[in-house]
A and B are shown apart, each in its own frame.
Chain A
Amino acid sequence: MFSIQTKNLKKHFDGVYAVDDLSIKIETGQITSIIGPNGSGKTTLINTLSGLLEIDGGLVVIEESEKLSKITPHEIPSFGITRTFQNIHLFEQMTILDNILVVLTDRQVFRAIFETHQTFHLKIAEEVLTRVGLWEKRGQLAVNLSYGQRKLLEIARALAMDAKIYLLDEPFAGLFPEMVKIISGIIKELKQESKTVILIEHDMGLIRELSDYVFVLDSGKLLAEGKPSEVLAKREVIEAYLGE
């Protein structure tokens, strides 16, 4: 079964195709990595899948039932999708705890006005913040966290969404080895929980360690796909990375 499929997906900027007629299938419950040199369209793909960029052509199929030619960002949680960002996005002026609690809020305006946070909200928040080691700092403003802690909070926010599909855009970038270990542990746990993880990453060691399947993009097109050990050994993939 496939969590996400793209069918002839297109996204262009002023005539330059960042995602060009891309058709891929992401299998459910697996860790799928999307790799490629800078400017190959990886982040554009994630932004298109999460509705932050409009689809210019083709379709996105979610769980083989929802065929979408337009994705509205605020609707993606209802499809069981969540994401993190290459450049960390947090609610900077809110506390760590509130960064998680806001994810759990009621989306109906009138109900939300009268909804205060209940024990079960706090329990979820405690669970995810403990998982990333930030529960003790829950009262601090997000803006005051270190770079690594900010990455962890972003992951915790995604975990609190309890999604089926996680789009993780360079979650390891710029992290110390201890934090890499925490996040790779979380990604492995997500797989054990039968969640689908779509990972954008540049570190080939981590790609080999974590991925079940790899797609390689180059100039918005699919260059290669397959198991990591096979794909990373392909001549065209090496050439694309080396720019030959």
Chain B
Amino acid sequence: MNIIPQIVANSLIAGSIYALIALGFNLVYGATRFVNMVPGALAAIGGYTVFFLFNRLGLNIYFSVIAGVVVAGFFGYLSDRLVFRKLRSHKASNLVSFVASLGIFTMLQALISILFTSQFQSVLSVTENPKTYQILGATFTWVQGLIFITSIAAFVSLALILKKTSFGKAVRAVSDDEEVSKIIGINTNRLISWIFFIGSCLIGLSGIFIGFDIGINPTMGLFIILEGATASIIGGIGNVYGGFLGAFLLGFVENFGILKIPGEWKPAIAFGLLILFLIFKPEGIMNKKK
């Protein structure tokens, strides 16, 4: 039996989830220039919001997903309004901002554990009996197909917004030079808060999809942020297009890597790839060497 089509499908699905994380991570990193841990916790918040509304309250799944995305976005927005905006006004160093984000991350993770226990939870009942499809010898569930399509749609939408709209130009301007952005009249604080909202929505969506695909637990955020950061660094940190590319490369390398070695080594493959990039191409695939 040829297992290559299945590995390609698995790579695309993993890459799709990493891509959503990397899109959100890079969007926020581009505007703020520090490694922010909060999005990791926001992925868990997205997943747990759906779990609460759909599994516990029995609300409609589509409504629950939209609510999960918006709640994650709202927490991201709030983290900027309450903490990071103040740190920016005090011209805090990247290290201080990183430590603050670690604090928020830990706090939110603990809050989820208190509210929902630290047990692993299955979000979607259909995952117990998933409907499957077959294309070119690869089998995937409808949730996995949805993950792939949504990821591509999110990337295309974001790329079009960044390239074609006034909002996108303002986002790129703030990522490029915050000082000049202010001088030309952009309220950079307000824009960055919106960037946090949009980036957090994307990461919240990735958390929901992980919940659909494999389930959720309060500490899932650490894995998510590490994978997102790895994909971003490989593709070119702060570069939305690079992050997308890096995510799929990571997905392929991980899944083809475990062809010959046990699956437990998957994270080692990911971080091995990261180390290789940090040594030989630290600017990533899409960024130019400075």
Chain A interface residue count: which class? Answer: 35 or more
With contacts A73-B183, A77-B184 known, is A89 near B177, CB below 8 A? yes
Chain B residues whose C-beta falls within 8 Å of the C-beta of A92 in the assembled complex = 176-177
Chain A residues whose C-beta falls within 8 Å of the C-beta of B164 in the assembled complex = 116
A88 and chain B: residue at smallest CB distance: B180
- B129 interfacial by beta-carbon distance below 8 Å: no
Find residues 160-204 in chain B having any chain A CB closer than 8 Å to their own CB: 161, 164-167, 169-170, 172-173, 175-177, 179-188, 190-191, 194
- Residues 204-235 of chain A, each 1 if its beta carbon lies under 8 Å from chain B, else 0: 00000000000000000000000000000000
With contacts A52-B179, A90-B177, A91-B177 known, is A106 near B166, CB below 8 A? yes
Q: B182 contacts A116, CB within 8 Å?
A: no
Chain B residues whose C-beta falls within 8 Å of the C-beta of A143 in the assembled complex = 288
What distance in Å separates the Cβ of A154 from its nearest Cβ neighbour in chain B? Answer: 9
Give the distance in Å from the alpha carbon of A74 to the alpha carbon of B180 in the complex.
9
What distance in Å separates the Cβ of A88 from its nearest Cβ neighbour in chain B? Answer: 10
Chain A residues whose C-beta falls within 8 Å of the C-beta of B170 in the assembled complex = 102, 105, 112
Find residues 52-109 in chain A having any chain B CB closer than 8 Å to their own CB: 52, 73-78, 82-83, 85, 89-94, 98, 101-107, 109
Q: B191 contacts A101, CB within 8 Å?
A: no
Q: A91 contacts B180, CB within 8 Å?
A: yes
Give the distance in Å from the alpha carbon of A86 to the alpha carbon of B166 in the complex.
28
What distance in Å separates the Cβ of A28 from its nearest Cβ neighbour in chain B? Answer: 21
Q: A115 contacts B165, CB within 8 Å?
A: yes
What distance in Å separates the Cβ of A230 from its nearest Cβ neighbour in chain B? Answer: 33
Give the distance in Å from the alpha carbon of A94 to the alpha carbon of B162 in the complex.
11
What distance in Å separates the Cβ of B77 from its nearest Cβ neighbour in chain A? Answer: 12
Give the distance in Å from the alpha carbon of A52 to the alpha carbon of B180 in the complex.
10
Between A and B, how many residue pairs show CB distances below 8 Å? 90
B185 and chain A: residue at smallest CB distance: A77
What distance in Å separates the Cβ of B202 from its nearest Cβ neighbour in chain A? Answer: 15
Q: A98 contacts B169, CB within 8 Å?
A: yes
Give the distance in Å from the alpha carbon of A111 to the alpha carbon of B167 in the complex.
8
B189 and chain A: residue at smallest CB distance: A74
Q: A107 contacts B187, CB within 8 Å?
A: yes
With contacts A90-B177, A91-B172 known, is A113 near B183, CB below 8 A? no
- A120 interfacial by beta-carbon distance below 8 Å: no
- Residues 252-290 of chain B, each 1 if its beta carbon lies under 8 Å from chain A, else 0: 000000000000000000000000000000000000100
Give the distance in Å from the alpha carbon of A89 to the alpha carbon of B181 in the complex.
10
Give the distance in Å from the alpha carbon of A143 to the alpha carbon of B185 in the complex.
22
With contacts A94-B169, A115-B166 known, is A109 near B184, CB below 8 A? no
Q: A112 contacts B177, CB within 8 Å?
A: no
Chain A residues whose C-beta falls within 8 Å of the C-beta of B182 in the assembled complex = 51-52, 73-74
Q: A117 contacts B166, CB within 8 Å?
A: yes
B164 and chain A: residue at smallest CB distance: A116
Q: B177 contacts A109, CB within 8 Å?
A: no
Q: A116 contacts B165, CB within 8 Å?
A: yes
Q: B166 contacts A91, CB within 8 Å?
A: no
Give the distance in Å from the alpha carbon of A93 to the alpha carbon of B238 in the complex.
12
Q: A109 contacts B169, CB within 8 Å?
A: no
Chain B residues whose C-beta falls within 8 Å of the C-beta of A103 in the assembled complex = 184-185
Chain A residues whose C-beta falls within 8 Å of the C-beta of B190 in the assembled complex = 109
With contacts A83-B183, A91-B177, A102-B170 known, is A109 near B194, CB below 8 A? yes
What distance in Å separates the Cβ of A13 from its nearest Cβ neighbour in chain B? Answer: 14
Q: A115 contacts B167, CB within 8 Å?
A: yes
What distance in Å separates the Cβ of A244 from its nearest Cβ neighbour in chain B? Answer: 37
Chain B residues whose C-beta falls within 8 Å of the C-beta of A91 in the assembled complex = 172-173, 176-177, 180
Show 25 residue pairs from A and B whose CB-CB distance is below 8 angstroms, ordered by the A residue: A73-B179, A74-B188, A76-B183, A77-B184, A89-B177, A89-B180, A90-B177, A91-B172, A91-B180, A92-B176, A102-B169, A104-B166, A105-B169, A106-B166, A107-B187, A109-B167, A109-B194, A112-B165, A113-B165, A114-B165, A115-B166, A116-B164, A116-B166, A117-B166, A161-B185
Q: Residues of A with Cβ closer than 8 Å to B?
A: 50-52, 73-78, 82-83, 85, 89-94, 98, 101-107, 109, 111-117, 143, 157, 161
Closest 7 pairs (CB-CB, A-B): A105-B166, A73-B182, A112-B167, A77-B185, A115-B166, A112-B166, A91-B176
